[in-house]
Amino acid sequence: DIQMTQSPSTLSASVGDRVTITCRASQSIGTWLAWYQQKPGKAPNLLIYRASSSESGVPSRFSGSGSGTEFTLTISSLQPDDFATYYCQQYTNYPWTFGQGTKVEIK
Amino acid sequence: QLQLQESGPGLVKPSEPLSLTCTVSGGSTSSSSHYWGWIRQPPGKGLEWIGSIYYSGSTYYNPSLKSRVTISIDTSKNQFSLKLSSVTAADTAVYYCATEVGDSGKMGYWGQGTLVTVSS
């Protein structure tokens, strides 16, 4: 299985901050990477696919980059609605695997 | 707008099977553009992909669960189902159904999730 490792596990930030979350794959996955946002008690919501393509309706402050084994999710200016947990997921090889999550908290 | 809704028992006894159904609306399970899948999340923990099924019936399972998992599809009812045998407390989780649209593996639509507790 391909292992996905996110850092940091928890991130404290303020409204307006630029936030970056990193996801590393245990082997090359090309750009077959998705990012999801999950709020408490809710299902995950797809933000980014193919490492850098934004899902329809996702605010432009969310962007993704990377290829191979290293990827980032950037929130350019953190908004109150963005405090949540973020997961990366690879879909190059079965089984699909997720990172352990990064919780973005209010500083 | 595609919508998915999980249904099934919220409490299952240890060693018994867990069975859940996902009903799809606003789209068709017979579509060749979608894979239909199950993901679970133990309380306070991360996400684990269980498996997926294509409209043709082809299935893909997580090897960690493969010996206990069966995913099936009923295109006449626009539903797909999960069966997990011989459950233990470690199978207690919120179970989500989701659909992979466009790219296989990209989960664009999710159900709201259903908590299944394994307890006697």
Q: Where does the pLDDT of residue A30 fall: very low under 50, low under 70, confident under 90, or very high at 90 and above?
A: very high
| Total Cβ atoms within 10 A of residue A97 | 22
Structural contact between residues A45 and A62, judged by C-beta atoms closer than 8 angstroms:
no
CB contact under 8 A, A34 and B107: yes
CA distance B51 to B38: 6
CA distance B106 to B109: 9
Per-residue pLDDT tens over the stretch B62-107: 999 999 999 999 999 999 999 999 999 999 999 999 999 888 889 9
Q: Which of A1, A43, A98 sits opposite B46 (nearest CB)?
A: A98
Structural contact between residues B78 and B25, judged by C-beta atoms closer than 8 angstroms:
yes
Can you tell me the mean pLDDT for B47-70?
Answer: 96
Work out whether the CA dihedral B2, B100, B24, B88 comes out positive or negative.
negative
The nearest CA of chain A is from the CA of B97 a distance in Å of: 10
For residue B89, the model assigns a pLDDT of 98
CA distance B80 to B50: 14
For residue B102, the model assigns a pLDDT of 82
Structural contact between residues B28 and B97, judged by C-beta atoms closer than 8 angstroms:
no
Q: Which of A44, A99, A100 sits opposite B110 (nearest CB)?
A: A44
For residue B101, the model assigns a pLDDT of 86
Query: Closest Cα to residue B50, out of B42, B38, B41, B32?
Result: B38
For residue B71, the model assigns a pLDDT of 98
Q: The tokens 């879909």 sit on which residue?
A: A91
For residue B103, the model assigns a pLDDT of 84
CA angle, corner B21, sides to B95 and A40, nearest 5?
25
